[in-house]
Amino acid sequence: MFNSHSLRHRVALGFALLSLLVVAAHSVALYLLVEDREEEQINRVVNEEMEAFISRYRANPATAFPQSQNLSAHVASDPVSQAALPEYLRTLTIGMHEVNVNGEEHHVLVRTHGETRFYLMYDVTHHELQMRELEWVLGFGLVVTAVLAGGVGVFLSRHLTQPVSDLATRVSTLGPDQPMTTSLASLYDDREVRRLAEAFDAYAVRVRDFVSREQAFTADVSHELRTPLTAIRTGCELLLAESANGPSPVRGPRTRVPDVPPETSPIGGTPLSADQRSRIERIDRAAERMTAVIQSMLLLARQQEAMVQETVSLRDCANDAAESLRERFAAAGVEWRNEVPAGASRYLDRAALEIVLSNLLRNALDNTGSGHVTLRWQDSVLEVEDTGRGIASGDLPHVFERHYRGGDARAHEGHGIGLALVKRIAERYGWMLSLESRAGEGTRVRLVLSAA
């Protein structure tokens, strides 16, 4: 099937059409030339026969008229013989005429000599049949030419576009993990293809340099973010340990706790109240989640496979995602309902799912003035439902676009990145994401997770 966007098909079609046009022009010119020569030949024969007939008639009026398969003659020397002529001859003037007699074409030459008028008819039917045969031959030639030109065009187009296709195949295999080992331009001899390959070589170098800088930057950012987070977690563990056991250093399995002299201890062994302990534990959990989030975001940015996948309790993950929003839920008077069964679980990247749920819950809370935000789990689907103001139909196609905030963007804070990030993470892990909403009726977001 012809594809107008295929270079190979366009080259083949162009060659076939050009060949067909040339042959068609040649055929038309040949046909017109043959027809013109036939007309000249017929007129010369008729004129010669007329001259011979008039000469014989002048010498002997009783001479026999030319009568053959193609020629016939008539003579009118008075009104009576003029009236006896066939009707199609009576009105003819001096000169050559084309007359149709019983469906057959005749050339009629009319001459006068004194008072006598001579009519010589030449039947050109066999010439017309020859022209029809010529038309069939030329038409068949056009068909054969079209077929041959198409085949040759396909062959030539494949040969001409093969280097481009080969270059496209080689470029498609390039990637951050599969850099070029040799210059593409060195593989091609055609000047045009080599120029294209040189452009790809130069672009690949720029991309490689950019990726190298990006990887170095993200590594530096990761290190700089993890250092204060580690200090926060260390401080939290130290506070909790000193409160329970006095001013002695605590060394956890994942962090190195620095030695803190008793005189500089912020607690000094003073027992913490339940509220203080709860707040410190929340700070510690938040720092731990932030560390996991940073790792997942870096992996997402680099398009790498997740390093940590585990069997995750969906209910616990949802509670952790909502932890930082509990005070906002309470302040807004919106009820948070976690209806995910306690035994529901999936094998996945917990930090990535927590980012998704946190953004979905935050978005639902931002758009709900009163009522509730509910999370459900059924048939491999996590569903976040709110009783908020909903989304206008004109905004629905754009809700997952980066920096898009809709017509009521000023109603709440944000930069329009949350849902775009959710979509990107879902696509990265193969989770299906959909959103349903009507203005004034709330919003429902469905996230289909891969099987455990």
Is the pLDDT reported for residue 394 higher than 90? no
3-state class (DSSP) for residue 190: coil
Is the pLDDT reported for residue 303 higher than 60? no
Average pLDDT, the chain: 81
259-269 pLDDT, tens digit each: 444 444 444 55
Is the pLDDT reported for residue 418 higher than 90? no
Report pLDDT for 407. 55
Q: Which has the closest alpha carbon to 234: 289, 293, 288?
A: 288
Domain boundaries, the chain: 7-152, 174-304, 307-452
Q: Cα separation of 44 and 38, whole Å?
A: 10
Average pLDDT, stretch 109-115? 88
Bridge-based pairing of strands 345-348 and 381-386 is unpaired
Average pLDDT, stretch 188-200? 85
Q: Cα separation of 393 and 440, whole Å?
A: 11
Q: Would you tell me how many other CB atoms lie within 10 Å of the CB of residue 254? A: 9
Q: How confident is the model at residue 1 (pLDDT cuts 50, 70, 90)?
A: low
Which position has the higher pLDDT, 136 or 428? 136
Domain at 307-452: CATH architecture: 2-Layer Sandwich (3.30)
The size of the chain, in residues, is 452
Report pLDDT for 66. 76
Report pLDDT for 415. 46
* Integer CA distances (angstroms), 27 to 13, 23, 291, 393, 426, in order: 21, 6, 80, 63, 64
Report pLDDT for 9. 78
Average pLDDT, stretch 7-16? 79
Q: Cα separation of 294 and 225, whole Å?
A: 8
